[in-house]
């Protein structure tokens, strides 16, 4: 047989052989489904975190060993002791900081710090987020947690305009429009807050490779393997999954200082971002704020960047219709049991835009005007290098659920 004939015969044989099908990508609806899997390799995908349509899907690479550093902190443990390591996450913010909104945020955060011993870290007590008039139903000190503190500040509240003191919660400043009624929402856990920001494109992975990317007013999230010692409950289905293994949230004040609710000292404390805690720093969120009335349970379109269908580089493969409803999961530690994230109520009047003026005593963090009276809230910037008189034991052992 000539060379050309042999080549033609070889081609004919090759064409007749069955072609091996391309390996199909492995997809899971939720993180819980992924955690139950074994024998995985390569790249896998989830369509969501707690639900397939919650907007918090990711792509992962499978590793037989736990990676070092932040990748190890956020890796999902699988049934066969391998790990799914998130890939393609954003690593930088998508917007510049809004200085007016940041100073307002920190001024209101300061008001919870100034409440001192009126607040105590306690996840078993009602908070203003439960729809309870706290000062009428319980006695001081009133309960607060890391995530409820951060959430109340993000909702535009200060201490004096929550039911710790008043008979209703009132938005008095810049707010993140979560699009929900706070008293019926399930997003007031640290990991669910992180998930919401991720689904709306406002969260990034803090790698520290080129220096810190976070700035004054950013929300910092911290992760570890077996967050809060509840991995067994997550596997059994009695506990919702922890987005990114997040167990704690804090507000960054600048100059290496955090304001957050901790398990020692008074309810809200100001500490350093010490090296032990910083090694757990995983995600950062830069909120998009509005001065319009928000969080009434009715979807709004007043806040730029809210209601997107997913963050850049999420690697989702489905379920990216995030909308404004957050993952529900199990009941929060504040005793919320309702499954509704709507709870429509009548919108309140728009909140006057805070001004940069005011001249309040900086040790008080500014004063607030009630939105019902139409007062304009004056804000004095909270100095990042202020001396604080309530030092606490400054490591992470106080961060218990």
Contacts 24+ apart (CB under 8 A), 374-383: 376/352, 377/104, 377/172, 377/173, 377/352, 378/354, 379/100, 379/103, 379/104, 379/107, 379/173, 379/354, 379/355, 380/107, 381/103, 381/106, 381/107, 382/103, 382/106, 382/107, 382/109, 382/110, 382/253
Question: For the chain, what's the residue count?
Answer: 401
Mean pLDDT in the chain?
77
pLDDT band per the 50, 70, 90 thresholds, residue 348: very low
User: pLDDT at position 393, please?
Assistant: 43
CA distance 57 to 313: 11
Regarding predicted confidence, which is higher, 76 or 188?
76
User: pLDDT at position 284, please?
Assistant: 98
3-state secondary structure of 401: coil
* 10 pLDDT higher than 90: no
User: pLDDT at position 356, please?
Assistant: 34
Give the dihedral sign, CA 325/327/332/335: positive
User: pLDDT at position 337, please?
Assistant: 30
- The residue assigned the tokens 């690479």 is 61
Instruction: Of 228, 269, 266, give the one whose Cα is nearest residue 246.
Output: 228
Q: What is the 3-state secondary structure (H, E, C) of 72-122?
A: HHHCEECCCCCEEEEECCCCCCCCCCCHHHHHHHHHHHHHHHHCHHHEEEC
For the entire predicted model, the pTM comes to 0.74
pLDDT band per the 50, 70, 90 thresholds, residue 297: low
pLDDT band per the 50, 70, 90 thresholds, residue 335: very low
247 has which bridge partners?
none
The structure tokens listed for 388 are 């604080």
* 24 pLDDT higher than 90: no
Helices (H), 115-145: 134-137
Average pLDDT over residues 83-110: 96
Average pLDDT over residues 216-222: 98
Q: Please write the tens of the pLDDT for every residue from 356-375.
A: 333 333 333 333 333 333 33
Q: Give 309-328 as a DSSP string.
A: S--TT----S-----SPPP-
């Amino acid at each position: 047989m000539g060379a050309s004939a042999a080549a033609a015969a070889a081609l004919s044989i090759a064409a007749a052989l069955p072609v091996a099908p391309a390996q199909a990508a492995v997809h899971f609806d939720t993180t819980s489904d992924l955690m139950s899997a074994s024998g995985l390799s390569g790249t896998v995908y989830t369509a969501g975190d707690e639900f397939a349509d919650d907007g918090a899907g990711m792509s992962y690479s499978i590793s037989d060993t736990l990676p070092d550093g932040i990748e190890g902190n956020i890796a999902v443990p699988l049934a066969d002791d391998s790990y799914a390591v998130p890939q393609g996450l954003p690593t930088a913010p998508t917007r510049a900081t809004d200085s007016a909104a940041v100073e307002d945020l920190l001024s209101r955060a300061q008001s919870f710090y100034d409440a001192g011993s009126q607040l105590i870290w306690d996840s078993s007590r009602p908070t203003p987020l439960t729809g309870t008039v706290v000062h009428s139903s319980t006695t001081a000190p009133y309960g607060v947690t890391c995530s409820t503190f951060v959430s109340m500040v993000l909702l535009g509240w200060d201490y004096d305009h929550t039911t710790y003191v008043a008979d209703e919660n009132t938005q008095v400043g810049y707010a993140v429009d979560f699009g929900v009624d706070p008293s019926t929402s399930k997003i007031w856990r640290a990991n669910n807050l992180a998930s919401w920001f991720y689904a709306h494109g406002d969260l990034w992975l803090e790698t520290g490779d080129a220096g810190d990317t976070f700035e004054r007013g950013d929300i910092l999230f911290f992760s570890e393997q077996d967050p809060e010692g509840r991995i067994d409950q997550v596997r059994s289905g009695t506990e919702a999954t922890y987005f990114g293994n997040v167990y704690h949230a804090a507000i960054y004040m600048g100059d290496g200082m955090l304001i957050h609710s901790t398990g020692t000292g008074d309810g809200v404390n100001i500490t350093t971002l010490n090296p032990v805690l910083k090694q757990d720093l995983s995600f950062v969120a830069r909120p998009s704020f509005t001065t319009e009335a928000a969080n009434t349970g009715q979807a709004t379109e007043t806040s730029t960047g809210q209601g997107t269908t997913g963050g850049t580089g999420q690697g989702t493969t489905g379920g990216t219709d995030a909308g404004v409803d957050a993952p529900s999961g199990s009941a929060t530690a504040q005793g919320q049991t309702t499954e509704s994230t709507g709870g429509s109520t009548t919108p309140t009047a728009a909140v006057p835009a805070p001004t940069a003026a005011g001249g309040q005593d900086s040790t008080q963090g500014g004063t607030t005007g009630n939105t019902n009276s139409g007062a304009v809230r004056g804000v004095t910037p909270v100095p990042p290098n202020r001396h604080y008189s309530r030092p606490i034991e400054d490591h992470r052992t106080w961060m218990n659920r």
